[in-house]
């Protein structure tokens, strides 16, 4: 992980998320492990402490929401609650 000193300066400024990460590293004495396990969940920067924007959707890959809605379900059947209990 980058140290605070190796992060970009004003000439090539930080993104807001990078600035938050740098602040969190500074708050936790430069330890990425301490940032990860930060106990201060009341901090407004807490969701951004790992250098990621939690508001951006990730993991969609090449699939769009339209493609995902067109996929067929794996199974289309109902499960009876009386099955296997000797009742008919």
What's the total number of domains in the chain?
1
Residue pLDDT, tens place only, 12-44? 688 999 999 999 999 999 999 999 999 999 999
Residue 25 placed within a domain: yes
pTM, two decimal places = 0.52
What is the spatial distance between Cα 27 and Cα 35, in angstroms, rounded to a whole number? 8
Query: Of 31, 58, 27, nearest to 43 (Cα)?
Result: 27
Establish if 76 belongs to a structural domain: no
pLDDT of residue 13: 85
Cα distance between residue 41 and residue 68, in whole Å? 34
Confidence category of residue 63, pLDDT binned at 50, 70, 90: low
Q: Are residues 15 and 2 in contact, defined by beta-carbon separation less than 8 angstroms?
A: no
User: Around Cβ 25, how many Cβ atoms within 10 Å?
Assistant: 21
Residue 14 lies in domain: 1-48
Work out the percent of the chain whose per-residue pLDDT is above 90.
Answer: 39
């Amino acid at each position: 992980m980058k140290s605070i000193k190796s992060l970009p300066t004003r000439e090539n400024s930080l993104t807001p998320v990078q600035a938050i990460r740098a602040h969190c590293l500074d708050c936790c004495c430069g330890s990425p492990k301490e940032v990860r396990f930060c106990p201060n969940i009341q901090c407004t920067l807490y969701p951004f402490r790992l250098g990621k924007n939690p508001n951006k959707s990730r993991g969609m890959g090449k699939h769009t929401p339209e493609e995902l809605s067109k996929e067929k379900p794996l199974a289309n059947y109902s499960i009876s609650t009386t099955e296997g209990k000797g009742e008919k």
